Structure 1
Amino acid sequence: MKKIVMLLAMLIVFSASLPAQAAPKWEQVGQHIEQAMAEALDIYDSGDSEGAKNAVNDIYYGIYEKDGLETAIRNTVSAKNANLTEYQFSKLKKLMLQGADGAQVKDAADTLVKMVNADVQSLKGAHSSQGGWASFWPAFLILLREGIEAILVLAAIIAYLCKSGNEKYLSYVYNYSIAAIIASFITAYIFNSLTNEFGAGANQEIVEGITVLIAVVVLLSVSFWMGNKANAKVWEAYIKNMVKTSMSTGRAKTLGIAAFLAVYREGAEVVLFYQALFNSAAGDVEMIWLGFAAACVALIIIFTLIRLGALRIPLRPFFVGTSIFMYLLAVSFAGSGIKELQEGGIVSITPIEGIPMPNIDILGIYPTYETIAIQVVLLIAAVIGIVYYRKRGSVQPV
């Protein structure tokens, strides 16, 4: 517990070093987008489709994201609205590259501007009706949401080590987690510096997407491994073998890396999201810190409850449940990773139309064929794996 408190304290110290200058009001950001969009259309009408597409990219990365409008919409208005706006940006760029008729491109651009302005009005209403709480809740929910994802992974790993009598290896989890927090802030600083210097906003999404997909691979491997240890005989054999072979050169490091990636991904996102919040805070900086402090307290309580609950359940349900959870978390991460690559322009965006699809950020569910496809593949693989292991178990008991 002391280590977790120390991690949160480090987060406070690092966050305090972030700049907290006020950004333009949302109406000004919306006007900036509208003006820049008119210039992008002029470039397209001149026959430079590539230049127009790059101008739209500058609007998305340099204004919509950098000025914090996307984050504000996602956390105050609706995550669905933010995602639909992203898809409209992608649609507009695709039309430009295809050399579509000027009227068609202008219609798509006008639709995009209307969507942004509608969300700006929603944000204006939220701030006028809620005052400083409009800054408190995004700050609270951002850290709570990202922190829960990391804590669930850490709690499962910590509980596993305690359950198996290997508390001495907890230092791997804690040390890797501390390293992840430091790496998160270093990465955020580098991203911020590169963005300010070169305006390469897409690189941020690409790196984040790759990091998340690496986490998916690690989570899947840990899930399979823990699932295999659910059988009592297999677990007993493993314990005996562990006496001879130190975990410090094998599985402990694997679990440490899983902890690192889980915290690193969430930590980098928290820092970047808070940077956007501070940039758009105006006079509500104190409420952001209040939301941050409240989320830290909530995360400590959640971590304590999850850890105590996990340590009290029987061996087999614990390993089976943890294995399933890590697999489902990998499925969630997979959707989020593909979405990051979509925002970076590496993966195409094909919205699912005509079929009601939920938009759930925390589960990594987004209404596009690309994000859903990888999740469906992983779920099918899980079903095949379960059938295989059951058949193998019925033929030859372990």
Structure 2
Amino acid sequence: MLVPFLIMLREGIEAALIVGIIASYLQQTGRGQWMPAVWIGVFLAAALALLVGGGLELMSAEFPQKQQELFEALIGLVAVVILTSMVFWMRKVARSVKHSLQAALDQALTGSRHQVAALIAMVFFAVAREGLETVFFLLAVFQQSEGPSAPIGALLGLLLAVAIGFAIYSGSMRLNLSLFFRWTGLFILVVAAGILGNSVMALHEAGVWNSLQTVVFDISATLPMDGPTGSVLAGMFGYQDAPTVSTLGAYLIYLVVALVAFFMPHAAPAPVNSSPATHP
């Protein structure tokens, strides 16, 4: 439950910040009448995410066992790529995302004859990115989890994200977003390593990957995956009680490379300046 809760919370806050920045800027520049177009873009993005998620889940239910394992592996690999890019993208643009959104908003409202359609499209693509990222991650988690705990965790994370986003927008709550995204980003990289390890195992079970299958160690008698602690660790971090060379190797190589890149100093991009003569 904790993993989908935290991921949904992070992605929900990202989406809420995007919408909040756009809404605040529209109000500050006297263009509050455009807010219905913003909400249309948000709802279209949410509908797309639900359709993609539901379609992929229904499609996988029709597959035979080996094809289901292959589908699970592919979804997991896509989720790892998306999660990793999400963490490093936010790390790179966190300080300039507000200025970038404001500049894109100005361009949508002044550089197009069809202003409503341009604004809807801008909001749609900005929010749909967060939604599709979440869909692939949740599919990977749901396929590796049993029972209703994962969907419940995701729903609770979404509800809390909406509440926090509204509180930030209304000014009643201040959140250290830099610290929040840093720690959740670190957590996501560890989770992604576990998803990668499970995806490699699923590739083996699908008959696609059969190399390096020697078991490194077996602690199933001490900490079994189907026990209370083992199941929690498996659901959160992809724990395996008898990992093979390929699954453990994929886990460790990804985690080391990702953590080194994550903690390396980086240069923040220069903020995009808006023209003061145009916006009071």
In structure 2, the partner of 1:209 is 73
In structure 2, the gaps of 5 or more residues are 23-37, 109-120, 226-232, 272-280
Q: Deviations over 1:135-161 (max 9, x none)?
A: xxxxxxxxxx4xx54443333222112
In structure 1, the gaps of 5 or more residues are 1-144, 196-200, 275-291
Answer whether contact 2:75 2:140 (CA < 8 A) is retained: yes
For 1:381 and 1:298, the matched residues in 2 are separated by: 29
In structure 1, the partner of 2:99 is 237
Q: Look up the SS of the partner of 2:62 in the other structure.
A: helix
For 1:325, the aligned partner's letter is F
Shift of 1:261: 1.3
Using the TM superposition, name which of 161-170 and 349-358 deviates more: 349-358
Relative to the length of structure 1, the TM-score reads: 0.46
Q: Does 2:85 match 1:182?
A: no
* Greater length-normalized contact order (CA 8 Å, ≥ 6 residues apart): 2
Shift of 1:253: 3.4
In structure 2, the partner of 1:304 is 159
In structure 1, the partner of 2:128 is 253
Report the structure, 1 or 2, having the larger helix content. Answer: 1
In structure 1, the partner of 2:43 is 171
For 1:190 and 1:210, the matched residues in 2 are separated by: 16
Matches within 5 A, 1:1-398: 145=1, 149-164=3-18, 165=20, 166=22, 168=39, 170-171=42-43, 174-191=46-63, 195=64, 201-230=65-94, 232=95, 234-243=96-105, 244=107, 247-248=122-123, 250-267=125-142, 300-301=155-156, 303-305=158-160, 308=163, 313-348=175-210, 349-353=213-217, 360-362=233-235, 363-366=237-240, 367-390=243-266, 392=267
Shift of 1:316: 1.4
Relative to the length of structure 2, the TM-score reads: 0.62
For 1:298 and 1:228, the matched residues in 2 are separated by: 28
Answer whether contact 1:215 1:261 (CA < 8 A) is retained: yes
Q: RMSD in angstroms over aligned alpha carbons?
A: 3.7
With over 3 angstroms needed to count, the CA separation of the structure-2 counterparts of 1:365 and 1:247, relative to structure 1, is farther
For 1:372 and 1:308, the matched residues in 2 are separated by: 39
Q: How many residues align?
A: 219
Answer whether contact 2:57 2:139 (CA < 8 A) is retained: no
For 1:221, the aligned partner's letter is S
For 1:301 and 1:222, the matched residues in 2 are separated by: 21
Shift of 1:217: 0.9
With over 3 angstroms needed to count, the CA separation of the structure-2 counterparts of 1:149 and 1:321, relative to structure 1, is same
Shift of 1:215: 1.3
With over 3 angstroms needed to count, the CA separation of the structure-2 counterparts of 1:309 and 1:208, relative to structure 1, is same
Shift of 1:377: 2.0
Shift of 1:226: 1.0
For 1:182, the aligned partner's letter is G
Answer whether contact 1:173 1:259 (CA < 8 A) is retained: no
Answer whether contact 1:209 1:340 (CA < 8 A) is retained: yes
For 1:305 and 1:256, the matched residues in 2 are separated by: 16
Q: Look up the SS of the partner of 2:208 in the other structure.
A: coil
